[in-house]
Amino acid sequence: MKNFVPLAGFLRRNPNLDAIATAIAETVTSGQGLVSITPKTNRVIRTEPVTMTGGQIHGVHVWCGPPDDEPPERPLPGPLLWDFTLGESSGSIQYLINAGMDPVTEPTTGRSFVDDIPTRSLNRDEAKVLAQTLDAAPDRTYCATWEFTDKLGGFRRVGFVVRTAMESMEDGSEHLIARAMNLVDEVWAAPPVPDQLAERVLGGLAEPGVYRLLIDLTTWMPLKWLDDPCPYFDWRSGAQMHPDDRSEYSDRMTEELQSGSTSAVLRLPGNDGADWVPLHVTINRIELDTGVFAGLVTVRQPAEDELHPSY
């Protein structure tokens, strides 16, 4: 797996550099894979576009070798789109497969950002990704290789690349869009090395009936579950509180958060369209990166003496 490296830097003095660059450009223009022969070195160049379900090209996969050689079996990149303006993502079937998710049960559209970040485990590079999500801007690139336990219980190493840009929508509005690809490097039945210290600490702090979640403090958008997702409320709705609770608690909680922590019993959206569900919520303000803050939310069912009389 490679980080972002300019093509010229990756191939260096390879005599096929110009021919490969031309093949990539032609693939992007046509949207079709191609096979060509280099005029000077008698090499075959094969390209395949990495195409999102809407037809947009996220990248080009390239193989170059002798004419008599058959290319090795190609690991398929999976394209993914994050719409930061809407707070939603769309993933291709191949993206879900590469990420170790069941494409039969996982949605490909209307996904939450939290759906694409591994639950429970911690990764040393996740803070940077989450910080960039909170401080999203166009014309940024990011790539990394993560090792994590997938939703099916396997352990895998997956590389991914992301680029952000402002894109025009059908209604004429401009959305901040991140176009990404992932690619499987290796898959194991179980972690090949013991859990890292951060993950052991995280597991040691877990409590039955208590659920921890990182959120965007501005929009309340879920970013990452540190435990299994809470079953008590519809967190996919953005964890918006009851309007009456917002008017009563919002200013106080916002002010208390400036010094680090706040808590209250709030009514949150019930599952499957059910009524509002009262839950005890504690929010701690944590710095993910320099000047970029998220909320560490702890959710549990309230005790009887914590409930407001009107609940």
Instruction: Report pLDDT digits (tens) over 131-166.
Output: 888 888 999 998 888 888 888 888 888 999 999 999
pLDDT band with cut points at 50, 70 and 90 for residue 32: very high
pLDDT tens track for 231-276? 999 888 755 788 888 877 778 888 888 888 999 999 998 887 778 9
Q: Alpha-carbon distance 65 to 46, whole Å?
A: 9
Mean pLDDT value across the chain: 87
148 and 166 co-located in one domain: yes
pLDDT band with cut points at 50, 70 and 90 for residue 102: very high
Average pLDDT over residues 31-49: 92
The answer to whether residue 140 is domain-embedded is yes
Query: Higher confidence at residue 160 or residue 1?
Result: 160
pLDDT tens track for 103-123? 999 989 888 888 888 776 666
pLDDT band with cut points at 50, 70 and 90 for residue 178: very high
pLDDT tens track for 78-101? 999 999 998 889 999 999 999 999
Query: Which two three-digit tokens encode residue 194?
Result: 């013991």
Query: Higher confidence at residue 198 or residue 221?
Result: 221
Note the pLDDT of residue 197. Answer: 56
Q: Which residues contact 222 (CB under 8 A, 6 or more apart)?
A: 112, 113, 114, 213, 214, 215, 235, 236, 238, 239
Is the separation of the CB atoms in 178 and 163 below 8 Å? yes
Note the pLDDT of residue 204. Answer: 59
85 and 167 co-located in one domain: yes
pLDDT band with cut points at 50, 70 and 90 for residue 63: very high
Residue bearing tokens 């005890």: 280
**What's at 304, amino acid-wise?**
E
Note the pLDDT of residue 134. Answer: 86
Q: Alpha-carbon distance 85 to 39, whole Å?
A: 46
The answer to whether residue 85 is domain-embedded is yes
The answer to whether residue 2 is domain-embedded is no
- Burial (CB count <10 Å: 0-12, 13-18, 19+), residue 213: buried
Note the pLDDT of residue 149. Answer: 82
Average pLDDT over residues 59-71: 93
The answer to whether residue 99 is domain-embedded is yes
Q: Give the strands of the sheet with 88-91, arranged side by side.
A: 111-112, 88-91, 78-83, 174-188, 155-168, 141-149
Note the pLDDT of residue 311. Answer: 77
The answer to whether residue 71 is domain-embedded is no
27 and 119 co-located in one domain: no
Q: How many domains does the chain have?
A: 3
**What's at 28, amino acid-wise?**
V
Between the CA atoms of 204, 301, 261 and 292, what dihedral angle is there, to the nearest 10 degrees? 70
Note the pLDDT of residue 150. Answer: 86
- Give 180's Cβ-side CA count (13 Å radius): 30
Note the pLDDT of residue 202. Answer: 60
The answer to whether residue 236 is domain-embedded is yes
103 and 173 co-located in one domain: yes
Which own/partner contact pairs does 238-245 have at CB distance under 8 Å and 24+ positions apart? Answer: 238/87, 239/213, 239/215, 239/268, 239/269, 239/297, 240/268, 240/269, 241/266, 241/267, 241/268, 242/266, 242/267, 242/268, 242/276
What CATH number corresponds to the domain at position 282? 3.30.450.20
Domain housing 122: 78-199
Average pLDDT over residues 56-77: 93
pLDDT tens track for 288-306? 888 888 999 999 999 988 8
- Give 227's Cβ-side CA count (13 Å radius): 18
Other beta carbons within 10 angstroms of residue 222's beta carbon come to: 24
Instruction: Using alpha carbons only, give the angle 61, 130, 263 rounded to the nearest 5 degrees.
Output: 155
